[in-house]
Amino acid sequence: MPTARAPADDRKAPPETPGPAPLRAAAVKLSGPARAMHKLGLRRDIDLALHLPMRYVDETRLRPIANLRDGDTAQVQGVVQECRIETRSRRQLVVRLADDSGELLLRLLHFYPSHQKTLAVGQTVRARGEVRGGFLGREMVHPEFRAVTAETPLPQALTPVYPSSAQLPQTYLRKAVASALARAPLHELLPPGTVPPGLPPLRDALQLLHQPPRDLDPETLEDHHHPAWQRLKFDELLAQQLSQAQAQAARATLSAPVLRAVPRGLAARLRAALPFQLTAAQQRVVAEITADIGRAQPMHRLLQGDVGSGKTVVAALAAAVTMGAGWQCALMAPTEILAEQHFRKLVGWLEPLGITTAWLTGSRKGRARQAMVAQVASGEAKLVVGTHAVIQDDVVFARLGLAIVDEQHRFGVAQRLALRAKLGAHADDGAIPDAPSNEDRGLEPHLLMMSATPIPRTLAMSYYADLDVSTIDELPPGRTPIVTKVFADGKRDAVIARIRGEVLLGRQVYWVCPLVEESEHIDLQNATATHAELSAALPGTVVGLLHGRMKSAEKAAVMALFTAGEMKLLVATTVIEVGVDVPNASLMVIEHAERFGLAQLHQLRGRVGRGAVASVCVLLYSGPLSATGKARLKAMVETHDGFEIARRDLDIRGPGEFMGARQSGDALLRFADLAEDSALLQQARAVAPRLLREHPAVAAAHVQRWLASRAEFLKA
Ligand code: ADP
Ligand code: MG
């Protein structure tokens, strides 16, 4: 194993760290680098074996000094002729190194006495770095170097460079990986015929990637197309497919209440009372959902439909079937504003039909909350609407039949896990022997998730493989398409004139600002200042302000004024992003549009164009735009189709960010790239069911090898 030493790293690394022992228990006191390794999740041998190099350096050959050209990165070996400390400009160690062909200067700006010792006159030294044609001839600044003898062999493999942290020197990590690779149980698990032809066994693949032979061009490895890489990606995708299939199979063994609509029952009465006809797409998804909840296995379905496609009424109908069958329904929304809007809408539809609805949010506390919780526990409240306060510990449902999660992608991974746990807890909750929920012990509620951000096909086939999907692919009739325009911030006055025009016509306007008082250093026009500016520019117009730091009662009051049409212009941060429904709003202005994600822009734009009037969305930007910023704004102008938007979003951002995985700090796929590796994904999808059927133990072992520490995330 070569040990290239970067002098800058030596400060942190103890010169002779003992080789890392296998870490059995976290309680063992770890050295600095071992702790850093633990923090990076490199705990088991297999974790280290799967920690792959980002790139490689070639230390397998030496170049004669005389052949070096300015800009080359090269390794040389020579004898130190002179080693002196210079103090003229900046204090530095200057070393003159000579081989048979010529001389080279090494310059070290940070150095320690140990370096001077290594570089003492007469020492043979191997150095690697970038060559510069300096004033005094060729030189290397801050090369990696080490003392050798004329007989020290050159490494036979390329030297890997691993993703690491400041506390974890490459030398330490290389040793740790090499010894873990030798120990890790990497025997072939997959039976013949499962691995796509041409891909090497896993052990060979890893061996090659950690220690590539010197004649291999590192570039063929670095672009991740090499068969060794393909093998890893395939194994990873297969593990993901298997774990999804396992989750699906596990769910099929659970029982759920059978919820069937009765003739002239609640659902039929709701349908008859609606002020509009369902679209064909709405009828189709209602049929899909009612078929699911009419079965004794828990539904696990995603309802996706573009903004404004009418998902709420579909949810209401599913809720009506549930309640008509004598069970409770919970509807959870990511924000209080949205939850409140659902609450009003559903109460408006269902209260005339005799349904009692409970309202639970974080801001409802004390007595009021206790009363609601009691209604939920007694079963008096048939419908429970709220934010994630709905799944707090003290909320116990008498008979929860259906849980609906709106805008499910807005909930974090942790909240989705909590919901899962809550639903599961309901099933085997024996803690309150006399609670009515006990009689239903063993039954899981059905789960319906809703999202306006459609899942691209590749993601649907991978992360969401165990999810059934219903799609509303049609908007209610009578909508006029939204025209989207992009303006530089300099056109602000023209935009304000346009607002005046809309208000005169009796229409309403949103103005969205990205952040509120987030940081004094960031040059953002905050919502408060914009509110003042617009109020001054539009005398006689009621201008409201809505932002995340307001109390929820204040927010509700502002929303009520806007919904009632009394407030004409609403300046808001992204709190209005999801679900808000005011059909009279016809103009949406988004300031600093370049700072929003594409899905977010599409959601915001969806707040207008909800009525019959032609609507406009204005995207204001402050230049210069980045390439991705430009691509996003262009996509917004070019398409209104949520599916197309999602596809482009995936192109621009990549699936990791799409999933919100960035936020959770844990990318779900480490090696495979869904956009690039769809062929491998297809192969993994084909193999997974067969493996589960014919070799269940192998399937379990494979999942264990790959996903042991990630299983929680994949379940979400
Ligand atoms: P989203 O899918 O974005 O949640 P909503 O459920 O908020 O959409 O519906 C958007 C608007 O369209 C609401 O005002 C809703 O009452 C109305 N709507 C829903 N379905 C229909 C329909 N079939 N015909 C006419 N209007 C409808
Ligand atoms: Mg909605």
Average pLDDT over residues 699-714: 70
> How far apart are the CA of 401 and the centre of ligand 2, in A?
21
Count Cα neighbours of 460 within 13 Å in the Cβ-side half-sphere.
Answer: 16
pLDDT in tens, 205-258: 999 999 999 888 878 888 888 999 999 999 999 998 898 888 778 878 889 999
Instruction: Specify the pLDDT at position 150.
Output: 86
- Give the global pTM: 0.68
Of 700, 600, 682, nearest in space to 196 by CA: 682
Across 538-594, the runs of DSSP E, i.e. the strands, are 543-546, 569-572, 585-590
pLDDT band at residue 28 under the 50/70/90 scheme:
low
Q: By three-state DSSP, how is residue 187 classified? A: coil
474 touches ligand 1 (CB under 6 Å): no
- Residue 441: pLDDT band with limits 50, 70, 90: low
- Is 246's C-beta closer than 6 angstroms to any atom of ligand 1? no
**pLDDT digit string, tens, across residues 598-613:** 878 888 898 888 877 8
* 539 upstream amide cis, omega within 30 of 0: no
Q: Is the pLDDT of residue 434 over 50?
A: no
Q: Are strands 144-148 and 124-134 parallel, antiparallel or unpaired?
A: antiparallel
pLDDT of residue 42: 86
The pLDDT-based confidence of 103 (bands split at 50, 70, 90) is very high
Residue with CA at minimum distance from ligand 1 atom 12: 310
**Token pair of 177, please?**
């990986």
3-state secondary structure of 536: helix
Element (H, E) at 448: strand 446-451
- For ligand 1, whether the C-beta of 304 sits within 6 Å is no
The answer on pLDDT for 517 being more than 90 is no
Q: Which amino acid is at 461?
A: M
Q: What's the Cα-to-Cα distance from 455 to each of 307, 371, 576, 710, rounded to whole Å? A: 14, 39, 22, 21
Binning pLDDT at 50, 70 and 90, where does residue 7 land? Answer: very low
Nearest-angstrom CA–CA distance, 51 and 41:
10
Specify the 3-state DSSP secondary structure of 365: coil
Pairing of strands 357-360, 383-386: parallel
Cβ proximity of 707 and 239 under 8 Å: yes
pLDDT at 359 over 50: yes
Amino acid identity of residue 622, one-letter, is S
Choice among 149-153, 157-161, 401-405, 475-479 with the minimum mean pLDDT = 475-479
316 lines ligand 1 (CB under 6 A): no
Query: 310 CB less than 6 Å from ligand 1?
Result: yes
Residues 6+ apart with CB under 8 A from 200: 208, 227, 228, 231
Cβ(642)–Cβ(306) below 8 Å: yes
Q: How far apart are CA 229 and CA 51, in angstroms?
A: 12
Q: Is 602 in the pocket of ligand 1 (CB under 6 A)?
A: no
Question: CA 349 from chain center: how many Å?
Answer: 36
Ligand 1 centre and the CA of 282: distance in Å? 10
Choice from 581, 582, 584, 605 to test ligand 1 binding pocket (greatest atom count within 8 A of CB)? 581
Q: At residue 185, what are phi and psi to the nearest 5 degrees?
A: -75, 95
Whether residue 287 has pLDDT greater than 70: yes
Over range 468-484, report the average pLDDT.
87
Residue with tokens 């069970």: 327
Does position 516 have pLDDT exceeding 60, yes or no?
no
Residue 4 · residue 159 · CB < 8 Å:
yes
CA–centroid distance, 256 to ligand 1, in Å, is: 29
Ligand 1 centroid, distance to 371 Cα (angstroms): 32
Please give the full DSSP string across 277-318, using - where no structure is assigned. PPPHHHHHHHHHHHHHHTSSS--EEEEEE-TTS-HHHHHHHH
Helix (H, G, I), strand (E, B) or coil at 653: helix
Give the amino acid at 124. Answer: T
- Domains, the chain, in order of start with CATH, read 4-56+160-223 (no CATH), 61-154 (2.40.50.140), 266-472 (3.40.50.300), 482-639 (3.40.50.300)
Q: Could you tell me if 300 and 468 are in contact, meaning their C-beta atoms sit under 8 angstroms apart? A: yes
Please state whether beta strands 468-472 and 328-332 pair in parallel, antiparallel, or not at all (unpaired).
unpaired
Q: What is the CA(178)–ligand 2 centre distance, in A?
A: 53
Q: What is the mean pLDDT of the chain?
A: 82
Token pair of 195 as six digits = 């691995």
Query: Which stretches does DSSP call E strand in 473-578?
Result: 483-488, 508-512, 543-546, 569-572
Helix axes 170-183, 202-210, angle to 10 degrees: 160
> 266 near 352, Cβ under 8 Å?
no
Ligand 1 in reach of 308 Cβ (< 6 A): yes
- Centre of ligand 1 to C-alpha 451, Å, is 14
DSSP string, 97-157: EE-SS-EEEEEESS--HHHHHHT-TT-EEEEEEEEEEETTEEEEES-EEEEE-TTPPPPSB
Closest CA to 463 of 668, 684, 314, 160: 668
Over range 494-506, report the average pLDDT.
Answer: 94
Ligand 1 center from residue 16 Cα (angstroms) = 68
C-alpha 306/C-alpha 440 separation (Å) is 36
Q: Which residues pair with 112 in a beta bridge?
A: none
Tens-digit pLDDT profile for residues 37-91: 888 888 889 889 989 998 898 889 999 999 998 888 899 999 999 999 998 888 8
Report whether pLDDT(654) > 90: no
**Higher confidence at residue 329 or residue 248?**
329
Which residues are CB-neighbours of 638 under 8 A, at least 6 positions away? none
pLDDT higher than 70, residue 25: no
At residue 432, the pLDDT reads 33
Q: Return d(Cα 229, Cα 246) in angstroms, integer.
A: 26
Closest C-alpha to ligand 1, atom 9: 310
8 Å CB contact between 18 and 157: no
Digit-coded pLDDT (tens) for 534-583: 999 999 999 999 887 778 788 888 988 999 999 999 998 876 655 578 88
Residue 521 has pLDDT above 90, yes or no: no
The conformation of residue 443, written as its DSSP 8-state character, comes to B
Nearest bound ligand to CA 477?
Answer: 1
Would you mind telling me the total number of residues written for the chain in this entry? 716
Task: Report angle CA 472, 477, 479 to the nearest 5 degrees.
Answer: 100
- CA distances, 168 to each of 4, 112, 210, 400, 606 (Å): 14, 20, 18, 50, 48
Nearest to 207 by CA among 230, 186, 234: 186
Query: pLDDT above 90 covers what percent of the chain?
Result: 42
CA distance from start to end of the chain = 42
